[in-house]
Amino acid sequence: MNTLNTADIIAGRYQIIKILGHGGTSITYAANDLQLGKPVALKVLSLHRINDWKVLELFEREAKILANLEHSSIPQYIDYFQVETEEEKAFYLVQQLAPGKPLFDWINEGWHPTIKEVLIIAAQVLKILVYLQQLTPAVIHRDIKPQNIIRSDDGKIFLVDFGAVQDTYQNTVTGGSTIVGTFGYMAPEQFRGQAVLSTDLYGLRTTLLFLLTGQSPADLPQRQLKINFKSAIQLSKHYADWLERMIEPVSAARFTSAQQALEALLGKSLPPCPLIYKRPKNTAIQLTQTINKLIVDIPSTLLNSPQSFWLGMAPLFGSVFSLVVIYDLIFQVVEPGLRLQQEVEVYFRTLMVMLSFQMAASIWITATKSLLFSGIFHTRIEIMTWQEIKVVKSLLNFWNIKSEFTADQNISEVRLEQYKLLFWKFTNFYCALKTGSKKLKFGLFLSRDEKVWIIEEIRRFIETSKNNQN
C-alpha cells in the first residue's frame, strides 16, 4: 500500500493530516472527520502488506473489542470499514484522536518526570486496566509500552493500540521464536504465547522504569530474568517493593490484578507475596506444557515411596485385625449368650467364620485395589482445557488402561485431600481435581513436595487457559 498523502480524503469523510506511526503491518494517520468536524486517528491495513490472514483476523478483533469499550481514557471507537479499488483492498479503523503525544516522545524530547509524576501516570494506567479486567470476558492489552500511552499537556493519560489484545497472531522475532508484544516490555510468559491479568502489570512496570531511567528496560542489568533497577533509581522502600512486585518474572508472584496493584500503590500495605513452588529435586515426574495442553507423567511410585511399604501392608493388617475382632466378638460374647445346642453351634460357627472371612477379604481387596492403582502403574494425565482431561495408566510399558475423564462442569477445585478408606483416615494425601460431581484422584505415593508442585502447576495452567480463551 502506498502511503497516503496530506489532504487525501478516505471514504468521502476522513481527510489525512499526517502520519502518527507505523506498526508492523499497519499505518496510523491523524485525520479530520469532515462530517463531525473533529480530529480522528485512522489506522489502515492493506492486504498487500500482509502475508498471514491472522493479521486481518487480529485487526478485525481489535475493532470489535474497541466498539464495546467505554472509558474516558480509551479513545472512542467511531467506525470500521474497507475500501476496495482496482489496485488494492484496505481496511480502516477510526477512533477519536487522543490529545497529546506518547510517553516515548516526551522522554526523547527531554522531559524528566519526577517520581511523583511517574506515580500519577501509574495510577491512571492502573485505573484503565482495572476497567479492562472487570469486563466479561476480561481484556488483556498485551502491549503496554511508552509508545502506546499518550500524555496530554495537562497530564491526562490515554491507552491506545489494542492490536495485540489477542495472541492469535504472533510476530517472529529471533531464532524462530514467536511472540506477541514488544521486546523489553514483554512479560516472560508472553515468550511462550501466554498472557494472564498480571501480564499488563509487567508492561506497565517496565514503562515506569523507562520514565524513571530514560533507558529501555532491556538495557538495564538483570539477574535470573529479573531487572535490577535499584542501582539506577532512588525510591522509598514502599515504592521500591511495589515496583519489585510488579516485575516478578513468574506471573504468580506479581499482584493478582490491577485493582490489587492500585490499592497497594495508593498507600495500603502490600499483600503477602504468594509462594512459588519449584520442581522438587530428584523427582522423576515430568511436566510438559504447551499453549493448549499440560501433560503430567508420573512413574510407578509404589516401591519408591517411604510410605509405600506400610501403606501397602495396611490392608492386610486391617483385614486380619478385623477377622480377629469379629471372631472374638462372636464366639466370646454373642455365642455364650445364645446358649446353642451342639448341632446348631457347629452350623452357627461355620456361618460366622464365612461371613467374617468375607468381610475381611472385602476390606483387603478394596484397599489393595485402591493402593495398587495409585502406585504400581505409570500414570499419564493430559489436561487439554479446564473441562477435557485424559488419563492413561500403563504397567511395564505394554499394558495400557485408557480412561476419558470428561468433566460434568468446569474444574472447580485442584487440591490435596486426605486419603480415607471406609471409616479410617490416613496421614497421607492424594491430588484431587474436582469437577462438579466427579473427582480425579492420583499421586497417593508421591512426596508432599511433589504433590504441592503438581497442584500449583495445574492451577496455574487452568488459570492461564481460561484467560487465553477469554
pLDDT tens, 51-64? 777 788 888 888 99
Q: Is the confidence at residue 440, as pLDDT, over 80?
A: yes
Q: Is the pLDDT of residue 197 over 80?
A: yes
Residues tagged in the binding site annotation:
43
For 138-188, the pLDDT digits (tens) are 899 988 999 999 999 999 999 998 877 643 233 323 333 334 567 778 777
Strand order of the β-sheet with 413-421 is 413-421, 424-435, 438-442
Supply the pLDDT for residue 169: 33
pLDDT (0 to 100) of residue 166: 47
Q: With 0-12 CB in 10 A as exposed, 13-18 as middle and 19+ as buried, what is 256?
A: middle
Q: Which three cell numbers stand for residue 208?
A: 515506569
Most confident residue range from 44-48, 81-85, 148-152, 465-469:
148-152
Q: How many residues does the chain have?
A: 470
Plot region of 443 (φ>0 → left; ψ -120 to 50 → alpha; else → beta)? left
Q: Give the whole-angstrom CA distance, residue 402 versus residue 100.
A: 61
Query: What average pLDDT does range 397-405 have in this prediction?
Result: 58
Pick from 126-135, 203-212, 250-259, 305-314: least confident: 305-314
Say what the pLDDT of residue 352 is: 63
What is the arithmetic mean of pLDDT over 61-74? 93
Mean pLDDT, range 198-219, rounded to an integer: 87
Question: Per mean pLDDT, which of 69-73, 225-229, 431-435 is the most reliable?
Answer: 69-73
Percent of the chain with pLDDT over 70: 65
The CA distances from residue 44 to 80, 390, 429, 464, in Å, are: 10, 45, 58, 32
CA distance 15 to 39: 9
What pLDDT score was predicted for residue 98? Answer: 94
* Structure confidence at residue 455 (pLDDT): 85
Tell me what the pLDDT averaged over the chain comes to.
Answer: 76
pLDDT at 429: 77
DSSP structure string for 125-184: HHHHHHHHHTSSS-------SGGGEEE-TT--EEE---TTSSTTS-EE-STT-EESS-TT
CA proximity to 286, closest of 389, 406, 378, 411? 378
Give pLDDT tens digits for 83-133. Answer: 988 778 899 999 999 999 999 999 999 999 998 899 999 999 999 999 999
pTM passes above 0.75: no
Q: Residues annotated as binding site for ATP?
A: 43
SS3 463: helix
Higher pLDDT, 302 or 68: 68
Catalytic residue selected from 33, 143, 167, 200: 143
Distance CA 159, CA 152 (A): 12
At residue 257, the pLDDT reads 86
Better-predicted residue by pLDDT, 349 or 297: 297
Confidence of residue 196 (pLDDT cuts 50, 70, 90): confident
Q: Is 143 marked active-site?
A: yes
Q: What are phi and psi of 217, to 5 degrees?
A: -55, -30
Query: Which segment of 19-23, 121-125, 387-391 scores lowest on mean pLDDT?
Result: 387-391
Q: What confidence score (pLDDT) does residue 1 get?
A: 56
Taking only the tens place, the pLDDT of each residue in 218-262 is 777 665 556 666 666 777 777 887 887 776 666 666 787 889 889
Give the model's confidence band at 269: pLDDT under 50 very low, under 70 low, under 90 confident, else very high.
Answer: low
The pLDDT, as a whole number, for residue 389 is 79
Residue 444 has pLDDT above 90, yes or no: no
Q: What is the pLDDT of residue 69?
A: 95
Q: Determine the pLDDT at residue 97.
A: 95
The pLDDT > 90 percentage for the chain reads 25
